[in-house]
Chains A and B, each alone.
Chain A
């Protein structure tokens, strides 16, 4: 799980280079701690979906708010 979270943080760093992965609280919603807009967030979801081979359903998106949320989702839905 930590592995997955690390990978997702690395993707986030690519999308928002000013975000230092070590400073991100993985359990806290990203929107509460980082200056990400809807486009950044979509890019992050797209990267997670492509690189980790997981289909993210539209209806599930609102519940994916933190790095931990994303890691758990990938774990449960990996193809």
Chain B
């Protein structure tokens, strides 16, 4: 059971989409998982043949519980390591530690000996909670000790619930405000050139292929991160880790209330058209409850747009373990000085909330300026 959110402790396997003997590839949808936040599609993290399904549909398990065992074609496991074709016995799928949740990948293979795995199973200790002292950091028998304390810390009686999604948002946002020293910046951007350019572009397109301003804003954020890359990453276990990939979490309001922020993967590598089509796809699947596990765990930074009926600016709260979030208010006509005279221009207020442990206002300001400059030359985006 992969961790599909910073505060996820458990998940329910709703349905298997594969059966024993099926050949699957990394990224294939193997089942459906229900968490506090949503029902989502579970992806395989490896190629192989389904050797065993270890958890029955309808079962709720803690994060880190093996769900299935994979066997590579031919019955031997090749670990993705520097040594090619190194044969290993089949490994059980193991998830990462329950807290804090590493953002990606959702599941990692953990090197361990068969005896260590056996002992860990008997003791009910997830491998991810153990420190390996064997070859290449593998977990060996001597590393497996009964847990000194319960793996899931004891909690006070749960407060009255207002629905699972609201509870999940409450937990993540309360943690963010408790732990992350936010700083906030705002910058008003003239969208005249960008909207004129989009209008031209859309005039020659069928309505289904129109590019909305929101997609252009996402693209500008992704590219601006090249200039201030430290805003793109994670704060985990008192340490910062920069992400090489830009996976743009996009906050999507759900009709039933609450919101969810699945990621457009590698957004800085994708042309505008693709960002637009993926955004369409994400919104549709978010509302249908069919997001993929990788989309919900991999965001390296989040963008929240209030949309055309929103108010002028948003001061967003960082989604941990990310270190920054970008907000856009509604596009509005405002007085703007152009060539020494005041003119009415379509403008938007871009805001940034960022983690002061990682970056400072100066760098944050450069980032918002970079977004501004990119939007003045939209044809280059």
- Residues of chain A having any CB pair with chain B under 8 Å: 16-18, 31, 35, 37-39, 42-43, 45-46, 49-50, 56-59
**Which of B206, B256, B279 is packed against the most chain A CB atoms within 10 Å?**
B206
Whole-angstrom distance between the alpha carbons of A38 and B212 in the complex? 8
Which of A17, A35, A42 interacts with B210 by CB under 8 Å?
Answer: A42
Number of interface residues of B (CB under 8 A): 19
Whole-angstrom distance between the alpha carbons of A39 and B215 in the complex? 11
Given contacts A38-B307, A38-B308, A46-B208, list 11 more A-B pairs with CB under 8 A: A18-B255, A18-B256, A31-B308, A37-B307, A37-B309, A39-B280, A43-B280, A49-B207, A49-B208, A58-B202, A58-B210
Does B147 sit at the interface, judged by CB under 8 A?
Answer: no
- Residues of chain B having any CB pair with chain A under 8 Å: 199, 202-203, 206-208, 210, 212-214, 253, 255-256, 279-280, 283, 307-309
Residue pair A56, B207 in contact (C-beta under 8 Å) = yes
26 contacts between A and B (CB under 8 A): A17-B255, A18-B255, A18-B256, A31-B308, A35-B255, A37-B253, A37-B307, A37-B309, A38-B212, A38-B213, A38-B214, A38-B308, A39-B212, A39-B214, A39-B280, A39-B283, A42-B207, A42-B212, A43-B280, A45-B207, A46-B207, A49-B207, A57-B203, A58-B199, A58-B202, A58-B203
Task: Report chain A residues within 8 Å CB of B279.
Answer: 39
Min C-beta distance of A11 to chain B, whole Å: 13
**Which of B206, B214, B255, B308 is packed against the most chain A CB atoms within 10 Å?**
B255
Which of B208, B210, B213 interacts with A50 by CB under 8 Å?
Answer: B208
Min C-beta distance of A36 to chain B, whole Å: 9
Task: Report chain B residues within 8 Å CB of A17.
Answer: 255
Which of B206, B207, B255, B309 interacts with A16 by CB under 8 Å?
Answer: B255
Task: Report chain A residues within 8 Å CB of B210.
Answer: 42, 58
Min C-beta distance of A35 to chain B, whole Å: 7
Closest to B306 in A: A37
